[in-house]
Amino acid sequence: SKQKHQHQSKYWKFDKASPKYTNPQTLLLPSIPSELRIPPSRFNDIGAYFQKKYELSLATNSSMDYLVEYNPGLVVIPPKMKQNLPPNAAYLLSLRVTPANNCFTTQVYANLPKDVWNSVYYTATNHLGLALLDESYQMLPGYDVVVEIDVQLSLKRSTSTKAGDSVSPTFMDYRIFVLNNEIYLHVNADTVIVNRLMLRGKGFGDDDDADYLRTTDTCAKVASENKDLNWETPC
């Protein structure tokens, strides 16, 4: 009978049921210049740091001018995509790059003034970070980039919090996955957006094909060569 085939549920601790860690890595995108990173010396007074950045954003009418990367995604690069990449490229890494964060203790954020808290949590700056990794999960030098893609995908909208503060964009994260030997980008928006990615490294394949390539460089180099650009300008 149906009753005879019922089994008692068993629950396992995540650290017991999850796969074993084989080669854990902490990766930082070289594309993000040091001046846009939170200095480690400010970790112990991060609340004051956020307050200072908030006041600067008001004075310059811009977002908080620092970036953090987190929520990594990792996929094995399909064989057919490797022909246009360095031979040691094994994985594609994705990261969310934004000032928005919840990286410190709960009390830090609870002690922030409401306007500062809103500016830390709600931001129009949500870049996509991508990097090629080798078999040992190490970044390939020169093969990482930070791009502003939320504008191109029309993910931003005008909305507000209960306090009337402007909030944008509508999504929270980027994810990548492989399907039928193709890499896809998943964007968690009001309407889920999925785009197929094409990877091509400079010097591999037809570099004159404008449909596949456009000039890119690190945020630091773009900023140094174009003094009139705002730091939020895509690289």
Distance CA 211, CA 221 (A): 24
pLDDT per residue as tens digits for the range 180-215: 899 999 887 666 778 888 888 877 655 454 444 444
Lowest mean pLDDT among 28-37, 158-167, 212-221, 222-231: 212-221
Cβ neighbours around 72 below 10 Å, total: 16
Banded model confidence at residue 227, pLDDT cuts 50, 70, 90:
low
How remote is the C-alpha of 71 from its chain's centroid?
A: 7
Overall average pLDDT of the 75-88 stretch: 93
Sheet of strand 68-76: strand arrangement: 68-76, 91-98, 127-133, 139-147
Distance CA 91, CA 108 (A): 36
Characterize 135-154 residue by residue with b for buried, 16 or more Cβ atoms within 10 angstroms of its Cβ, and e for exposed: eeebbbeebbbbeebbeeee
Whether pTM > 0.85 for this model: the answer is no
- Bigger pLDDT: 84 or 161? 84
- Structure token digits, residue 40: 């480690």
